[in-house]
């Protein structure tokens, strides 16, 4: 069952485009490193909330409910490959691979790769869309990244039945690590833009779009990159130390092992796998 949630951003208005276009965007860093703190003292309307986090880590990583170490039942370790039946979470591939391994400390590790593409390289820019070439649009749900290897969380075994969750935001960890964390007073929380909503004008995905982050009370408006406006709420979790990939958007696998065959449901589609390596 797919329990990923559609992440939407509030569309707000009432700002001067001329003033916004004349300002340097928050986080616009030439070398692609983490953004610096915004300049202060430019007037009450555009003063940015205080930058409180350093880039690259959070105080406490986001966690999945019921996550923790686990051991593997006998006979399931190995590599299992197959396909989604009757549909796929990817537009161009139905391939899925399940890798089940025992770590040196005796605990298990399960990884899932969907698709056959080369996964995108780690992000190098805090202000450009990720993966490279993606369009910065508002209100877009997270999708599976072709070729990316996801780590299973909240793993449970019931005999030969395996259930686990995948974090859809995991591929964006490198992008979130480049972000700075801003304290947003009207939410008493942190985000990688100075607010939790904003505007994109003239149109979502337009090459000439101007984007503004705005606090709920409408008193603080800050020019930011459109990629940050489109992505921060959807993929990152931030605290007083920094930002990392969110654990909010999740997908579930529920499969059963029968000898060298695995069947069940993953990403909302039927799955069939066979063992290819011990």
Instruction: Render pLDDT for 38-95 as a digit per residue (tens, 0 to 9).
Output: 433 333 344 556 666 655 678 888 889 899 999 999 999 999 999 999 999 999 999 9
Tell me how far apart the alpha carbons of residues 215 and 232 are, in angstroms, rounded to a whole number. Answer: 14
Q: Is the pLDDT of residue 195 over 70?
A: yes
Helix (H) or strand (E) holding 177: helix 173-177
* 202: helix, strand or coil: coil
The single-letter DSSP state of residue 248 is S
User: How high is the pLDDT of residue 20?
Assistant: 33
DSSP β-ladder status, 197-201 and 10-11: parallel
Compute how many other C-beta atoms are within 10 angstroms of the C-beta atom of residue 164.
Answer: 25
Full-prediction pTM beyond 0.95? no
Q: Tokens for 140, please give them.
A: 């877009």
Tell me how far apart the alpha carbons of residues 62 and 136 are, in angstroms, rounded to a whole number. Answer: 24
Higher per-residue confidence, 141 vs 30 = 141
Q: Is the pLDDT of residue 164 over 90?
A: yes
Higher per-residue confidence, 50 vs 177 = 177
Tell me how far apart the alpha carbons of residues 245 and 148 are, in angstroms, rounded to a whole number. Answer: 15
User: How high is the pLDDT of residue 51?
Assistant: 65
Per-residue pLDDT reduced to its tens digit, 236-261: 999 988 999 999 889 999 999 999 99
Rounded to the nearest integer, the mean pLDDT of the chain is: 81
């Amino acid at each position: 069952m797919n329990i990923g949630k559609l992440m939407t951003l509030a569309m707000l208005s009432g700002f001067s485009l001329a003033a916004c276009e004349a300002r340097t965007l928050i986080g616009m860093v030439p070398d692609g490193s983490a953004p610096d703190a915004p300049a202060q003292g430019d007037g009450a309307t555009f003063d940015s909330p205080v930058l409180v986090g350093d880039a690259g880590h959070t105080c406490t990583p986001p966690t999945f409910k019921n996550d923790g170490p686990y051991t593997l039942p006998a006979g399931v370790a190995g590599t299992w490959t197959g396909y989604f039946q009757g549909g796929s979470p990817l537009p161009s591939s139905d391939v899925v691979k399940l890798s089940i391994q025992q770590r040196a400390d005796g605990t298990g590790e399960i990884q899932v790769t969907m698709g056959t593409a080369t996964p995108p390289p780690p992000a190098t820019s805090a202000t450009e869309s990720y993966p490279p070439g993606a369009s910065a649009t508002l209100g877009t749900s997270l999708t599976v990244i072709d070729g990316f290897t996801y780590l299973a969380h909240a793993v449970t075994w019931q005999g030969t039945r395996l259930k686990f969750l995948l974090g859809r935001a995991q591929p964006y960890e490198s992008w979130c690590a480049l972000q700075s964390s801003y304290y947003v007073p009207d939410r008493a929380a942190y985000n990688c833009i100075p607010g939790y909503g904003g505007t994109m004008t003239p149109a979502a995905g337009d090459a000439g779009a101007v984007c503004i982050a705005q606090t709920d009370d409408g008193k603080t408006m800050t020019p930011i990159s459109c990629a940050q406006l489109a992505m921060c709420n959807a993929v990152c979790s931030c605290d007083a130390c920094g930002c990392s990939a969110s654990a909010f958007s999740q997908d579930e696998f529920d499969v059963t092992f029968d000898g060298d065959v695995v069947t069940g449901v993953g990403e909302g589609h039927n799955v069939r796998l066979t063992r290819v390596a011990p």
